[in-house]
A and B are shown apart, each in its own frame.
Chain A
Amino acid sequence: MRKSWWKIVCVVLLIYTVIAGFLFNVPRLSIVNETIRALYFHVPMWFGMVFLFLFSMIYAIRYLKNHSLQNDIYSTAFASVGLVYGLLGIFTGMIWANYTWGTPWHGDPKQNGAAIATLVYLAYFILRSSIENEEQRARLSAVYNIFAFAAMIPLIFIIPRMTDSMHPGSGGNPGFNMYDLDSKMRMVFYPACAGWILLGVWISTLQIRTRLLEETILDQENE
């Protein structure tokens, strides 16, 4: 185990999330009822995704600066785990929407924005798989990565706030005001976000380390 203290923090936070998420008191609201607890699991997927995509972009910029293949490996790993989080966010959201809004796909601006952002990142992997040359692939996908992040932020955070959205915190109503009536929810929600972000980073590092091992093996074979 390498640098294991934050992995222990991650495990503790996630187990705390499940226990506190189901046992602590939540505000009694009509329509959402007990499903308000889905906030502890659905929203951290998006927080995790945004952070992982941010790390991915940072390593993409680093690659463009020094052209080291290692940065390309980091960037791809963060993007792929981020994409998994995004897909989980969309599907958990669809289950929740089916119960509270009546249909799984409501055409809500935030829902559509998230779907487009996910497609933008899917295209990142299609772009990667379509280029044979290693350096060219790394360079082009690093440039595209920066574009993808720049496209995702307005799609998820800005456009839904400018129009009416069924999501809380949208339609000129910033933050989680509706849910924050109860400060107890924050005591579970923030640790949940931290825990899921850490798990995403952990899984990314596993992918990075395997890829780096693969590279050293290939290097040795070429010697």
Chain B
Amino acid sequence: MKALLIVLGILASPLLFAQEVEMADTMRSEGKIYVVVSILVLILAGLILYVFLTDRKISRLEQKMAEKKG
């Protein structure tokens, strides 16, 4: 019986060890991680929108230039 417990203990030790590593589990369980993700997605979206608008502006200039030439 004792031997069995020791064997089980050894088998389960990686699992136990894995749980000991500190991660942001509390923050996740409280759902606060979604606050972080939403803020980052919003900032990213804003920057991408800026790149998109610049792209469109350059496209318009290119069209104007083509008309002038043609």
Interface of A is mostly: helix
From known contacts A18-B44, A33-B23, infer whether A202 and B58 are also in contact, taking CB-CB under 8 Å.
Answer: no
Contact A206 B51 (CB under 8 A): yes
The answer to whether A164 has its CB under 8 Å from any CB of chain B is no
* Contact size range, A: 20 to 34
Contact mask A1-39 → B, CB, 8 Å, 1/0?
110000100010011001100110000111001100000
Mask: chain B, 8-48; 1 = CB below 8 Å from A; 0 = not: 00000000001101111000000001001100110011001
Closest A residue, CB atoms, query B48: A11
Residues of the B chain whose Cβ atoms lie less than 8 Å from the Cβ of A213:
58, 61-62, 65
A199–B19 alpha-carbon span in the complex (Å): 38
Determine if A203 is an interface residue (Cβ-Cβ < 8 Å): yes
Q: Is the CB of A15 within 8 A of B44?
A: yes
Question: Is A129's CB within 8 Å of the partner chain B?
Answer: no
Chain B residues with CB below 8 A from A216, complex form = 65, 69
Which residues of A lie under 8 Å from residue B40 when comparing CB positions?
A: 18, 22
The interface residues of chain B, by DSSP majority, are classed as helix
- Our count of residue pairs bridging A and B at CB distance below 8 angstroms stands at 56
Asked if B55 CB lies within 8 Å of chain A CBs, one says yes
Total B residues in contact with A, Cβ cutoff 8 Å: 26
Residues of chain A within 8 A of B52, CB atoms compared: 1, 7
* Residues A28 and B21 in contact, CB atoms below 8 Å apart: yes
Task: Give the distance in Å from the alpha carbon of A209 to the alpha carbon of B48 in the complex.
Answer: 18
A209 near B41 with CB under 8 A, answer no
Tell me which residues across on chain B come within 8 A of A28, comparing CB atoms.
18-19, 21, 23
Contact in complex: A15, B37 (CB < 8 Å): no
Cα–Cα distance between A29 and B23 once the two chains are bound (Å)? 9
Cβ of A199: which chain B residues have Cβ within 8 Å of it? 51
Does A210 make an interface contact (CB < 8 A)? yes
Chain A 58-77 interface 0/1 with B at a Cβ cutoff of 8 Å (1 = within): 00000000000000000000
